[in-house]
Amino acid sequence: MQHPSLNIAIRAARSAGKLLLRYMDRVDSLKVESKSRNDFVSDIDRGAEAIIIQELRARFPDHAILAEESGAQGRGDFQWIIDPLDGTTNYLHGFPQFSVSIALKHKGQLECGVVYDPLREEMYSAARGQGAQLNDRKIRVANRPSLEGALIGTGFPFRDQRHIDVYLRMFKDMTLSTAGLRRPGSAALDLAYVAAGRTDGFWEIGLSEWDCAAGALLVTEAGGTVTDLAGGKTFLETGNLIAGNLNVHRAMLSLLTPHLTEQLKA
C-alpha cells in the first residue's frame, strides 16, 4: 500500500516541473537575485515553491514546512522539506540538469520523498519501508563490491568555500581510486542516480536539508547506506554526506574520513 502522502508529493512535484519547463527557453526574462556568493534565486524558484506549498497545504493544512526560499513555516510532528529547483545555476544557464525535491518527515524521521527530473520525465519516489521506484519501476543501488571501477558523484562547495582545499584533497584521493567522478550540479538528482544504480556512490560537503532529504531516503530505500563523513546519522544537520551501497560506502568512508579533522579545523 502506497504511503498516503506520496501521491500528493508526486502531484506537487509534477506541477512545479511543468512551470520549470514552461520558462526554460525564457530564462533571460527572469528576475534573478543573488542570495549569497554563487547562490542564486529567480522568480521561477519562488513560483515553483508556491505551487508546491499550495498543493501540500490544500491536503495537509496543519503540516509544518521547511522550504528553500520561504524558510520554515508552522510547527508540528509532520514537516515537509522542499527544494523547488535544485540546480538553479544549471537552469539559468540552460544546462539540462535540475530537479524538484520534496520530502516528508514525521518526528524527525524521513517518511516519504520524491525527486523529479521534468526534462526526462523521471519521477523517483520512496516511502519508508516500501522501497524506491523510478516511474513506478523498483530500483536498487548498484552491487559494485569496491571503489575499483566505480563511478562516483560529487558536488563542489560552491557557497561556503572555506573547505575548498580539504575538498580538493578528497577529490584527488577519490579520482585515484575510482573509474571517474561526476559533478552534474543537482545533489537531489545525484542521490537519485545512486538509488537507481546509475552511479555507485556520492559525497558532498555543506548541503542544506532540502538538497538531500528526499534523495537520502531514496538511497536507503533502494538498499544503500547514507551517513555523514564520520559514519553517523547527522547528515541532515551537518550537510556533509556519503551515500552508496554498503561496500562502496564503507570504502568511501575509509578514504574520506581522514580529511574530516582538517575540514573541522578550517
**Which domains does the chain possess?**
6-139 (3.30.540.10), 151-265 (3.40.190.80)
On whether the CB atoms of residues 88 and 41 are closer than 8 A, the answer is yes
- Residue 11 one-letter amino acid: R
Q: What are the binding residues?
A: 68, 83, 85-86, 211
By CB atoms closer than 10 A (0-12, 13-18, 19+), residue 32 is: middle
Maximum average pLDDT range among 57-61, 161-165, 256-260: 57-61
- Give the pLDDT confidence of 33-64 residue by residue, as tens digits: 665 454 445 688 889 999 999 999 999 999 99
Q: Report the side by side order of strands in the sheet with 180-182.
A: 180-182, 151-155, 201-204, 241-244, 225-227
- Residue 9 one-letter amino acid: A
The pTM assigned to this predicted structure is: 0.94
pLDDT band at 262 (very low <50, low <70, confident <90, very high): low
Lowest mean pLDDT among 103-107, 182-186, 259-263: 259-263
Please, what is the average pLDDT of the chain?
91
Half-sphere exposure of 86 (CA within 13 A, CB side): 33
Is the predicted pLDDT of residue 214 greater than 50, yes or no? yes
Q: What are the binding residues for Mg(2+)?
A: 68, 83, 85-86, 211
- Give the pLDDT confidence of 179-211 residue by residue, as tens digits: 999 999 999 999 999 999 999 999 999 899 999
Overall average pLDDT of the 91-120 stretch: 96
